[in-house]
Amino acid sequence: MSKAILTDVTKCIGCAQCVIACKAVNNLQPDNPRRWQKDDGLSADNWTSLLRKPDGHYVRKQCRHCLEPACVSACLVGAMRNTEEGIVIYNKSICLGCRYCMIACPYGIPRFDWDEPVPYVRKCIMCYPRVKAGKQPACTEACPTGATIFGERDNLLETAHNRLKKYPNRYIRKIWGEKEIGGTNVLYLSDIDLSFLSYDKELDEKSLPDETKIAMNSVPFVFIGVGALMTGLHLFTRRKNRIAQLKREKEENEDE
Ligand code: SF4
Ligand code: SF4
Ligand code: SF4
């Protein structure tokens, strides 16, 4: 049975305890924003973020742990992998750095860590080691209002359906993640439209992996080289900047 998270936007007070707990448990560094970063608060060191929306709404963003993940089918070497718990994890030791997973994800989740000397894609892993040890993810444990909760997917779907029935005027009558692109293990109830989490697109129920495979098979292998080249250029620029900085420091010391 799939493990899942249900986030109820109507219960979120925007306290960011989920964000803080994620950083602490996963040992994520203070964020180092990049100019080209998407403006959603996610980064290689921010695996979940809180989006502020009109009328006092706050929406958590994190990996949706798709039942049929496009990132997994796009990965040529199996660095992205689905587990029996339905949690999508990543193995950096075999990652090529091609970033197909980043292109394939319909929610724009995986981020590249430019500060690592080797290719390193990062995203929420639904606290896989904790879940394996019988615990719940840090974010759901930290939430003081029960706005984001953890459990078996079937049970959380039942909870969500019950809330929709009990409070027909509180929510948009939809469970985000129940069916789109084959379903996801991170589900949402909300009183505002959440299409902004998927590039303002209403995703249909068709799963993405088959389409992704066709698309990826038609991409020439030379693009993997482009990924590697970009990484190489980044490392070269970083080294050049570091040398310039050391030179400046040396000159300053000599002036004193
Ligand atoms: S949301 Fe994106 S990164 Fe997460 S499992 Fe789905 S396709 Fe992969
Ligand atoms: S499940 Fe774990 S890794 Fe994912 S956002 Fe929550 S705390 Fe972070
Ligand atoms: S901890 Fe709970 S209430 Fe606070 S921001 Fe996160 S989801 Fe919202």
Answer yes or no: is pLDDT of 220 > 60. Answer: no
Q: How far is the CA of 165 from the centre of ligand 3 (A)?
A: 24
For residue 130, the ligand 2 atom closest to its alpha carbon is 2
Q: Within 6 Å (CB) of ligand 1, which residues are found?
A: 63-66, 69-71, 88, 105, 107, 109-110, 123
- Domain 3-218, what architecture? 2-Layer Sandwich (3.30)
N- to C-terminal Cα distance for the chain?
Answer: 66
Q: How far is the CA of 163 from the centre of ligand 3 (A)?
A: 19
Q: Tell me: the pLDDT tens digits for 179-193? A: 999 999 999 999 999
Strands 57-61 and 148-152: unpaired
Q: Identify the residue whose C-alpha is closest to ligand 3 atom 4.
A: 15
pLDDT of residue 221: 46
Are 235 and 112 in contact by the 8 Å Cβ rule? The answer is no
Choice between 133 and 239, residue whose per-residue pLDDT is larger: 133
Q: Tell me: the pLDDT tens digits for 151-176? A: 999 999 999 999 999 999 999 999 99
Of 159, 190, 195, 196, residue with least CA distance to 9: 190
Are 195 and 172 in contact by the 8 Å Cβ rule? The answer is no
Choice between 214 and 256, residue whose per-residue pLDDT is larger: 256
Q: Tell me: the pLDDT tens digits for 11-40? A: 999 999 999 999 999 999 988 666 666 789
Choice between 139 and 238, residue whose per-residue pLDDT is larger: 139
Give the confidence band of 201 by pLDDT, cuts at 50, 70, 90: confident
- Evaluate: CB of 241 within 6 angstroms of ligand 3: no
Instruction: Give the bridge partners for 232, in sequence order.
Output: none
Neighbours of 54 (CB within 10 A): 6
As a whole number, mean pLDDT of residues 51-59 equals: 96
pLDDT of residue 136: 98
Neighbours of 244 (CB within 10 A): 10
User: Distance between alpha carbon 162 and the CA centroid of its chain, in Å?
Assistant: 28
> Residues near 68 by Cβ (< 8 Å), separated by ≥ 6?
181, 182, 183, 207, 208, 209
The encoded tokens of residue 81 equal: 């992998």
- Evaluate: CB of 82 within 6 angstroms of ligand 3: no
The encoded tokens of residue 78 equal: 């199996």
